[in-house]
Structure 1
């Protein structure tokens, strides 16, 4: 092998911390330098720079056509979300540039588009951004240097839609074979739809057990990754946080007065990408022995811009106080339990994914938290907390029971 006079060839971004990928958002300027250290004189044809961002999904499914014929069907889709090219050395005429020995720096700068998809790493897809520099020399293979960077799409939860309370109510008959055991009712409410990692969701709920069997209430935050290609879709659901209550005996009613459910450092919601989505849901469920679970789903949006406590765009103090008065006084913060498997939380009849023109794959319920740990949530270091024993709160009096569970 011939002696290569290029000793160092790398891409560095300004204001990037050592050992961490730099973080940007749409509309920001990306500035940096291409560093080139030469051991001797070098003739350079061109030095080109390219910034690229891609959203890519891919998965395979086993299919059968007949009694003995089997084949594999692959689904793949790719979307270019960022493309920028520039030339640092070498005009289009193809002239050769001679560089002397020593260190050389070639600065660059470009503007990101105003809207970009958040960086993401999932089981069947990803959104990745990088800057690649390519050095062309006569009669020598091209040298390439690569620098990865992270993009976070700003999701401001201080909007009317994300500050609106979310509520719902459901009921179910407890049965075993042909025996009727009574009715179980569930009502739940949260103060808003949008939250950021590290925040606590106060869960207000009423569980009315009119059956003859004890039931077990709990609440979980579920992340749903949806990958789309060629008219088909693949979903992966993961429980990222959970809490469990004490069993509710027959003929009893229990009120959750702001039970605390903390959001771990997960990636934000991705709602505007053509090939993949990341959604979150708060699921409040009641396990009924001998009957499928009673499930109530409230939509969540995980944002990047936290709540303004006293800003003009934040929810008013009066409305928040009224919310607490409607549901009783808040309780002391509680520690959430380690997340269970998703299949343990959701009944089979509500776990099906949406229909598509192609046969849908089976849902993958393995627990694996997708997405990078972004800079804005690095202060939260999530470790699955140990299981613990909760004290059974005193049953609420009739005066504390809310009269309208859906308002």
Structure 2
């Protein structure tokens, strides 16, 4: 019956920044609104601020399928939007609007994350409307949490790596291939452009094709970390101009556009991690590829 009496419950968050995110130590505030189709007695309107992480995946052993899972509660705070001491209040028919606020604890909590099937880090507010001798009517709304990254000069420093190999096989005559690759920095944000410069040498008899890719790796753990599941995923890749045989000094620039909705790096959760690597590869037909790897960090707004 109460489901017909209470209609159009909604939550409006007052975000502290244009990204619509909250971080540790900040206050989650906003307004709730709902409509009553008749006068209604209530005891209180409760509020719970929760953060949790959970993972699960299927394994097969001896022909049987079982699910491995783990979950961690990050915090669970309770308060009231409307509290009546030892009594009830009659809310009149019509639309009701109430402000709410609750401070997120200070702490190193991981950023919000949603995997397609295996894991999730979520932050939500749960509102409960309580009446005497009735089960509370609950509504929940999720908000986006962004973990602050402390200012680290290393994230702003340029990176470089080199790799080379002598080629000798059935499909190409002897010679060496090499590359020296540079990135502007280690730290990026979703939507940024990764600029890659490379000096390539091709002393073989075949053309080589440079390729750059941004690889995301999701790692899910049990609580004891005795088991894990790793899911790599290429978010974006690009191919460069082919380098002809017997060229000793070929300069190349490549760019990778980080997706706007790419999750931030996560290294501060005991059951879930998200890592990123920029992989630059030299591809040659009939021979194994040559690679350089650059671990990078995707962050939001750092604390200075």
Answer whether TM exceeds 0.5 for this pair: yes
Residue 8 (1) aligns with residue 7 (2): yes
- CA change 1:185–1:100 in 2 (3 A) is closer
Aligned residue pairs total 295
Q: How far is 1:106 from its partner? A: 3.7
1:131 match: 125
Residue 272 (1) aligns with residue 268 (2): yes
Q: How far is 1:50 from its partner? A: 0.9
From 106, 109, 113, the equivalent of 2:105 is 113
Structure 2 unaligned regions, length at least 5: none
Q: Aligned equivalents of 1:197 and 1:222: distance in 2?
A: 14
From 196, 204, 209, the equivalent of 1:203 is 196
Matches within 5 A, 1:207-356: 207-229=200-222, 230=224, 231-265=226-260, 266-305=262-301
| Structure 2 length-normalised TM | 0.85
Structure 1 unaligned regions, length at least 5: 65-69, 307-312, 314-407
**Does the 8 Å CA contact 1:11/1:32 hold for their aligned counterparts?**
no
Matches within 5 A, 1:326-405: none
Q: Aligned equivalents of 2:2 and 2:171: distance in 1?
A: 84
Residue 98 (1) aligns with residue 89 (2): yes
1:86 match: 79
CA RMSD after TM alignment? 2.8
Q: Aligned equivalents of 1:200 and 1:100: distance in 2?
A: 53
Q: 1:139-190: per-residue Cα shift (whole Å, max 9, x none)?
A: 444311122211112336x631111221111122334359863322222111
Q: 1:219-269: per-residue Cα shift (whole Å, max 9, x none)?
A: 111111111114211111222222212222221134335433332212221
| Structure 1 length-normalised TM | 0.65
Q: Aligned equivalents of 1:168 and 1:268: distance in 2?
A: 24
**Does the 8 Å CA contact 1:5/1:40 hold for their aligned counterparts?**
no
- CA change 1:5–1:40 in 2 (3 A) is farther
Q: How far is 1:84 from its partner? A: 1.0
Residue 162 (1) aligns with residue 161 (2): no
Q: 1:269-296: per-residue Cα shift (whole Å, max 9, x none)?
A: 1121111111111111111222221111
**Does the 8 Å CA contact 1:57/1:125 hold for their aligned counterparts?**
yes
SS at match of 2:214: strand
Q: How far is 1:14 from its partner? A: 4.3
SS at match of 1:79: strand
Q: How far is 1:38 from its partner? A: 2.9
**Does the 8 Å CA contact 1:181/1:213 hold for their aligned counterparts?**
no
**Does the 8 Å CA contact 1:182/1:212 hold for their aligned counterparts?**
yes
Q: Aligned equivalents of 1:31 and 1:248: distance in 2?
A: 57
**Does the 8 Å CA contact 2:48/2:76 hold for their aligned counterparts?**
yes
Q: Which has the higher helix share?
A: 1
1:380 match: none
**Does the 8 Å CA contact 1:25/1:153 hold for their aligned counterparts?**
yes
1:26 match: 24
1:142 match: 136
- CA change 1:172–1:21 in 2 (3 A) is closer
SS at match of 1:176: coil
